[in-house]
């Protein structure tokens, strides 16, 4: 997730569509709402998507002197990317976040509250949800193997359905504490860690069709490694940041074979941040029908 925006206004400067061709100018507001992600899932297989903003050298979060946890780099956060982040949330039945985010929230280090935002600039997204027959806000799934989730961090979201997803070997004491607090637990996986495929299967059985993962590299790795990711929205801020203490998109074991993605759309925004940014959309590439060469 990204750094909190102090001003929710949305500049109106156009984007340039670079792909698919032909190139053309287009507006920012509504760019992702047009994708109608809430219609793409089925009873058998929900549509699962995620979103990140990254620097050109791959930093999605960096260390900061005034924090205990890493934050999205302040130089690359901007209202135009934040608008699209909100549009993606507007199409979700449920958001997947992490226990880490809830702990950050309890410590005052979360980047923002979970969307859809309440600011006037996002009123059209909230109205759009209702017009589409969706609930006022997406429900929340918290993926956590440790079940270390401060109950106070859940308070702002009590009007929504909250599900904590964990493994079958999770701490039973912490599980009972959450259940006693009115939180639904969902078990997906034989150990402590959550199994991505089983998690999506369980969410499908619960009636969710569009699932937006807004957590960090650990949750994203779980989805990619299990083959559950259907689409990645990736903003490239045209900045180089450097540094030695940072997060990148994925954290976990090497993906063997690599997860190949095909670009389906690319827009250029010269307006924000300094240097501009690219809005990319990627989907899993078709499996090659050509057998690999052998020596």
Q: Tell me: the pLDDT tens digits for 228-255?
A: 999 999 999 999 999 999 999 999 999 9
Q: Is 222 inside any structural domain?
A: yes
Residue 295 and residue 289: Cα distance in Å, rounded?
Answer: 19
Whether the predicted pLDDT of 8 surpasses 60: no
Q: Is 199 inside any structural domain?
A: yes
% residues pLDDT > 90 (the chain): 88
Token output for 112: 């923002």
Whether the predicted pLDDT of 4 surpasses 80: no
What's the domain count of the chain?
1
Q: What pLDDT score was predicted for residue 11?
A: 60
Estimate to the nearest angstrom the gap between the alpha carbon of 261 and the chain centroid. 17
Q: Is 237 inside any structural domain?
A: no
Count, residues in the chain:
295
Q: Is 250 inside any structural domain?
A: no
Whether the CA torsion 113, 93, 158, 205 is positive or negative: it is: negative
Q: What pLDDT score was predicted for residue 110?
A: 79
% residues pLDDT > 70 (the chain): 94
Q: What pLDDT score was predicted for residue 46?
A: 98
Residue 197 and residue 201: Cα distance in Å, rounded?
Answer: 6
Q: Is 192 inside any structural domain?
A: yes
Q: Tell me: the pLDDT tens digits for 263-286?
A: 999 999 999 999 999 999 999 998
Strands 261-269 and 15-19 turn out to be antiparallel
Q: What pLDDT score was predicted for residue 295?
A: 41
Q: Is 213 inside any structural domain?
A: yes
With vertex at residue 253, the alpha carbon angle to CA 248 and CA 258, rounded to the nearest 5 degrees, is 80
Q: Is 264 inside any structural domain?
A: no
Helix axes 196-205, 217-225, angle to 10 degrees: 90
Mean pLDDT in the chain? 93
Q: Tell me: the pLDDT tens digits for 140-192?
A: 999 999 999 999 999 999 999 999 999 999 999 999 999 999 999 999 999 99
Contact 235, 50 (CB under 8 A): no
Residue 54 and residue 240: Cα distance in Å, rounded?
Answer: 10
Q: Which of 278, 222, 254, 270 is nearest to 50 (CA)?
A: 222
Q: How confident is the model at residue 292 (pLDDT cuts 50, 70, 90)?
A: low
Whether the predicted pLDDT of 216 surpasses 80: yes
Whether the predicted pLDDT of 200 surpasses 60: yes
Q: What pLDDT score was predicted for residue 252?
A: 95
Which residues lie across from 246 on neighbouring strands? 62
Q: Is 243 inside any structural domain?
A: no
Residue 266 DSSP SS3: strand
CATH of the domain at 207: 3.40.430.10
Residue 196 and residue 189: Cα distance in Å, rounded?
Answer: 8
Q: How confident is the model at residue 2 (pLDDT cuts 50, 70, 90)?
A: very low
Identify the residue with better confidence: 41 or 9.
41
Catalogue the E-assigned strands of the chain: 15-19, 24-26, 47-55, 61-62, 94-98, 139-143, 162-166, 184-187, 210-213, 231-237, 246-247, 261-269, 277-284
Residue 165 DSSP SS3: strand
Q: Which of 202, 4, 171 is nearest to 86 (CA)?
A: 4
Considering 21-35, 65-79, 276-290, the range whose residues carry the highest mean pLDDT is 21-35
Domain that holds residue 162: 40-57+79-231
Whether the predicted pLDDT of 100 surpasses 70: yes
Whether the predicted pLDDT of 291 surpasses 90: no
DSSP assignment string, 60-95: SEE--TT-SS-B--TTT--HHHHHHHHHHHHT-SEE
Q: Look up the pTM and report it.
A: 0.93
């Amino acid at each position: 997730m990204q750094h909190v925006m102090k001003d929710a206004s949305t500049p109106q400067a156009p984007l340039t569509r670079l792909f698919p061709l032909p190139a053309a100018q287009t507006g920012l507001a509504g760019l992702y709402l047009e994708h109608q992600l809430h219609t793409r899932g089925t009873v058998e297989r929900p549509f699962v998507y995620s979103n990140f903003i990254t620097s050109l050298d791959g930093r999605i979060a960096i260390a900061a002197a005034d924090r205990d946890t890493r934050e999205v780099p302040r130089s690359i956060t901007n209202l135009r990317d934040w608008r699209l982040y909100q549009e993606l949330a507007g199409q979700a039945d449920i958001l997947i976040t992490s226990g880490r985010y809830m702990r950050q929230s309890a410590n005052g280090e979360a980047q923002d509250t979970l969307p859809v935002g309440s600011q006037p600039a996002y009123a059209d997204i909230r109205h759009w949800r209702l017009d589409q027959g969706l609930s006022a806000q997406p429900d929340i799934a918290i993926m956590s193997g440790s079940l270390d989730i401060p109950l106070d961090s859940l308070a702002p979201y009590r009007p929504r359905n909250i599900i904590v997803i964990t493994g079958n070997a999770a701490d039973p004491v912490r599980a009972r504490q959450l259940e006693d607090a009115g939180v639904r637990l969902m078990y997906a996986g034989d150990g402590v860690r959550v199994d991505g495929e089983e998690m999506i299967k369980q969410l499908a059985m619960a009636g969710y069709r569009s699932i937006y993962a807004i957590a960090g590299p650990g949750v994203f790795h779980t989805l990619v490694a299990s083959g559950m990711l259907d689409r990645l929205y990736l903003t490239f801020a045209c900045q180089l940041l450097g540094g030695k203490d940072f997060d990148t998109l994925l954290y976990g074991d090497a993906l063997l074979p690599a997860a190949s993605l095909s670009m389906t759309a690319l827009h250029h925004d010269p307006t924000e941040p300094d240097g501009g940014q690219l809005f990319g959309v990627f989907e899993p590439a078709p499996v090659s029908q050509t057998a690999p060469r052998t020596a």
